[in-house]
Amino acid sequence: MGINLYLRCCKLEEISKIMKNNTAIVRKSKLDALLRKHPWVFSGAIESETQDFEDGCLVDLITRNQQFLARGHFQPGSIAVRILTFNEQEKINQDFWNKKIKNAVDIRYTLGLLSEKNQICRLIHGEGDNLPGLIIDYYAGVAVVQAHSTGMFLAEEQICTALQNALGDQLIAVYSKSKETLPNRVDAENKYLFGNTTVPHIAKENGIPFSVNWITGQKTGFFIDQRENRALLAKYSAGKKVLNTFCYSGGFSMYALESGAKEVHSLDSSEKAITLVEQNLALIKNNKNHTSIKADAVKHMNDVETDYDVIILDPPAFAKHRDKRHKAIKAYTRLNANAIRQIKPGGIIFTFSCSQVVDKFLFNKAVIAAAIECKRNVRILEQLHQPADHPINAFHPEGEYLKGLVIQVD
C-alpha cells in the first residue's frame, strides 16, 4: 500500500505496524563507512532486495554473515538508510526518543540557549544530534519540527511527546513543518501537533527581539545558525556604515544598529524579506539610521557605494550538488571581489558560504582569489563557523556546512 493512502486511512497506533524491522545486507566492499559509524547508507551499498520495504520503515543492516551493523529508517532514493543506532539491543520506541531529545535539550541548557536572554536555538540538528533526518528549532516556547525523511515524519507524534517530556511547562506548542522537506510522494500537512499560538511570535536572541513566523517564513522561520556571528558583528559595527546583503529578516542589521552603527543598509531582492526587516526594526529603539534596499544583491554589488566600513555577504547556497561546485566557487570569488574592490580602506567584510559541497578550504581560496584579482591587501581576522547548537557529528564531516571569514581590506 502506498504511504499516502496508508497515512490517510490508518490510526496513529497502527503506524507502528509498518515500522517493523526489515533486514538488509550491506555489501562487503561498503562496510568501512558503517564501521566508522557514518550515519548514511547509500542505496548502492545494499545488495539484498528492498523493493518490499515500506517507505519510512525501520531496517536492520547486517553483513552476509548475519552480523548486526546498525538500525535506521529506510527510504527509497540515494540515501537508503539513515542510522538511528549502532546498538542491536536499542529499540526505537518512546524511551529512545525521550532519551535522545532530552540529551539534546540538556546540552542547549548548558550552552545558555534556553533562557530569558536567549529564547531562540536549534534543539535537534539531524546527524549532529544522532537523529539524521530531523530538525527542530525553538522560538520562546514553540518547537518547530521539520522531518527530512519519511521515517522521522512517521515518528512525529513520539517526537512531540519527547519534547513535552524534555521541556515541560516551558513548551507552549509544537508545529510540524515537514510538507516542504519531504518527498512529494508523502502526503504531509503543516500543522500543530501540540498547543497553539499566534504568529508572528516574538523571541529574543542575545536579548534582541525578533519577529518569527514559522508558517510563512523560510525554513522554520529564522536563520538561527548565524547567532554567534551576528554577536561578533556587533563588536565591529559601532559608529560604522554597514551594508547587510542577502539580509532576509535583517538579523545582522539588528545587531549592528543595537551596537551603535552610524548607518545600516539592508539589501535583499525579496519584497517579503524587506517586510520582515521592517517588522523587526519596529521592535527596537535604535532603528533610525536604517535604509532598506530591494535589489538583486549580486548585481547591486557590481557598483556598490565605496564608503561602507562593514559589508556582510551571506548568500544562500550557491551549490547543493557536487556538479555545481565549480560554478559556485566562481560565484563566491566574483561576489567577494566586488565587495573587496568597493569597500573603503581599512574596511571589514563578513563573508560566508552555506554550500555544503564547498568546504572551508575551497571557500578560503575563493576569497583569496578575489583579493588577488582586486590587487588589495587582505588580512583574515576571524574564521567563522556554525554554533554549538548546530553540532557536527564527528563521524559525519559533511555536517560542517557553514563557514565564514572576517577580513580587513587595506
Q: What is the pLDDT of residues 112-155, one digit of tens each?
A: 999 999 999 999 999 999 999 999 999 999 999 999 999 999 99
* Residues 358 and 288 grouped into a single domain: yes
Average pLDDT over residues 284-305: 91
Please write the tens of the pLDDT for every residue from 89-118: 999 999 999 999 999 999 999 999 999 999
**Owner of C-alpha cell 545558525:** 225
Q: What is the pLDDT of residue 320?
A: 80
Domain residues for the domain of 358 are 224-409
Q: Indicate if 80 and 141 belong to the same structural domain.
A: no
| Statement to judge: residues 228 and 199 lie in one domain | no
- pLDDT of 409 over the 90 cut: yes
pLDDT of residue 330 exceeding 90: yes
Residues 310 and 398 in one domain: yes
Burial code (b: 16+ CB inside 10 Å, e: under 16) for 355-373 equals bbbbbbebbeebbbbbbee
Q: How confident is the model at residue 28 (pLDDT cuts 50, 70, 90)?
A: very high
Does 1 score more than 50 pLDDT? no
> Which of 85, 102, 131 marks a domain boundary?
85
pLDDT, tens digit, 9 for 90 and up, residues 162-190: 999 999 999 999 999 999 999 888 989 99
Residues 255, 283, single domain; the answer is: yes
| pLDDT value at residue 362 | 95
For residues 172 and 326, what is the distance between their CA atoms, to the nearest angstrom?
Answer: 45
| Least confident residue range of 158-167, 197-206, 277-286, 321-330 | 321-330
Same domain, 372 and 403: yes
Residue 31 lies in a domain: yes
Is 11 within a domain?
no
Q: Is residue 240 part of a domain?
A: yes
Contact, 180 vs 214, CB < 8 A? no
Share of the chain above pLDDT 70, in %: 95
Three-class DSSP labels, 133-196:
CEEEEEECCEEEEEECCHHHHHCHHHHHHHHHHHHHHHCCEEEECCCCCCCCCCCCCCEEEECC
Could you give the CA distance from residue 297 to residue 311 in angstroms, rounded to a whole number?
A: 12
Whether 396 and 127 have beta carbons less than 8 Å apart is answered as: yes
Q: What's the CATH number where 127 sits?
A: 3.30.750.80
Say if residue 71 is in the same domain as residue 153. Answer: no
Q: Which of 26, 51, 85 is the last residue of a domain?
A: 85
Supply the pTM of this predicted model.
0.92
The count of structural domains within the chain is 3
Say what the pLDDT of residue 150 is: 97
Q: Are 360 and 392 in contact (CB under 8 A)?
A: no
367 and 386 assigned to the same domain: yes
Residue finishing a domain among 212, 242, 262: 212
Residues 49-68: tens digit of each pLDDT = 999 999 999 999 999 999 99
Q: How many CB atoms lie within 10 A of CB 351?
A: 25
Residues 79 and 121 in one domain: no
Domain with residue 27: its CATH number is 2.30.130.10
CATH number at residue 369: 3.40.50.150
The answer to whether residues 197 and 333 belong to one domain is: no
* Residues 73, 51 within the same domain: yes
DSSP 8-state secondary structure symbol assigned to residue 64? T
Parallel, antiparallel or unpaired: strands 134-139 and 120-125: antiparallel
Query: Residue 327 carries which side chain, given as an amino acid letter?
Result: K
Is 115 in the same domain as 236?
Answer: no
Q: Note the pLDDT of residue 7.
A: 45
| Residue 6 lies inside a defined structural domain of this protein | no
